[in-house]
Structure formats: C-alpha cells, structure tokens
Amino acid sequence: MLARILTATVRLCQRAASPRSCTVAVDSTGFARAPASPYFQLRAGKRHRARTWLKWSVAVWTDPLVLCGQVADRGPRGDHAEFRPLVEQTLARLPFTRLLADGGYDSEANHRWLREDLGIESIIPPVAGRPARGLTRHPYRRQLQLAFPRKAYGQRWKVETFISVVKRRFGGAVTARNYWQQVKQTLLRGVTYNLYRAVQLGLSVHLMSHRLSKAVA
C-alpha cells in the first residue's frame, strides 16, 4: 500500500514540476534503531550503542524535491545492493534521463547498466578502486575522469537537503521494536514527506484526497 501511495504522490507532484526536469539524485542514510534519545545513548556509554541501524536508500527528483523511490534495509552495508531495485522502482514512477550519485555507487557495471540498458546518463565520481596515478581502463569511468560535468553534478546536494528535512521533521531514529515495523515506519516517513511537499507546491488538498483514496482502494 505504501508503494501505491508513493506512486500517487509522485504523479500529483508532476503537475507542479517542469516537464523538462528529468534528473534524479540517489543517496542513503541511517536511522538509529533505538527508542532512547541520542543524549541517553551517549551517557550510557559504548555498552549500549547500537551496532546496526536501519539503512534508508532514496531517489529524489531534484527539481520539485520529491521522493520517487525508497528502500529500507539493515545497515551498515554497501550502497550497491539497493542500487538497482531503487532505480527500477523510480523508473516505474518517473521517466528520467539523468542520475546523480556519490562515489559509494561508483562502478563500471552501474554505468553500463544505466547508459546501455536504460538510456540514462549517469554522473558518479569515479573514485572506487582508482589507481594513485593514471587513468582507469574502464571507458565510462575514464570519460568522467577526463571531463567530469561538475555543473550538472552540483544538483546532487538536493538529495542531501531532502534527507536533512526528513530527519529534522520526523526524527533520526525509528521507535518500533520489530524489524519489519521499523522498515514500515521508515517508508512511511518518505510518503509523509511527499504529502508535505505537495502542500508546499500548492497542490489542491481535494485533489490529493481524491488521488490517495484511489491509491488505497
């Protein structure tokens, strides 16, 4: 149900965005898996510090600053595991032509998949496994080493803004004790943010109610 509601909110926000804006930025963050406050955990010392957190990977449409895809899983872990599912669900909601990501998603395989299979321009800093001197032999990563599009990549900060807003408004921890309830709580934050953003964009509350009622029916 949360996936259907997220799709409905993306379609709503398309009404307020420029049709030529087709850039998506991806990133990930973590939510503490403890109901205790960060202050209490600090006072409690190392014995009470959580060894894991809930990892939230997100894909954000940069122009209207709207969430288009999200995956929640246990952390810590690398970013590559969630990358393809995140891109695929985002494409199902929003046809986009450019993807921005940080070095955690850097790999020639990701570039080939995005560019050759999906027709999406990928802009990811070529940092993974780069030799100390010289250029990489991988063609797409080498191209970015030679001429990195810094102006276009500058839009990636918007996904960091999105994460900051979510944590400020909804908190940096999940309070549910069961893992799957923690996942649902995290995904619900993404849906709630999109509703908040739709109001900011001036979309009609009546229209939102109508679209969301159809999504949950």
CB–CB of 182/32 below 8 Å? no
Backbone angles phi, psi at 195, to 5 degrees: -65, -40
Cis peptide leading into residue 126 (ω within 30°)? no
Q: Tens-digit pLDDT profile for the chain (217 aa)?
A: 889 999 988 988 887 776 666 899 999 999 998 655 555 555 665 554 556 789 999 999 998 999 999 999 988 888 999 999 999 999 999 999 999 999 999 999 999 999 999 999 999 999 866 555 678 889 999 999 999 999 999 999 999 999 999 999 999 999 888 999 999 999 999 999 999 998 888 876 656 666 666 665 5
Q: What is the pLDDT of residue 75?
A: 82
How long, in residues, is the chain? 217
Backbone angles phi, psi at 136, to 5 degrees: -70, 155
Domain span at 195: 2-207
What one-character DSSP code corresponds to residue 46? G
Q: What is the pLDDT of residue 45?
A: 59
Any domain includes 69:
yes
> How many domains does one find in the chain?
1
For tokens 């739709």, name the residue. Answer: 198
Cα separation of 79 and 110, whole Å?
11
Cα separation of 25 and 45, whole Å?
36
Q: Which residues pair with 66 in a beta bridge?
A: 61
Give me the CATH number covering residue 167: 3.30.420.10
Strand duo 121-123 + 66-75: pairing? unpaired
Any domain includes 212:
no
Any domain includes 214:
no
Any domain includes 122:
yes
Cα separation of 197 and 195, whole Å?
5
Cα separation of 184 and 143, whole Å?
40
Any domain includes 143:
yes
Cα separation of 141 and 126, whole Å?
6
Cα separation of 138 and 107, whole Å?
9
Any domain includes 216:
no
DSSP E strand stretches across the chain: 23-32, 53-61, 66-75, 98-100, 121-123
Any domain includes 92:
yes
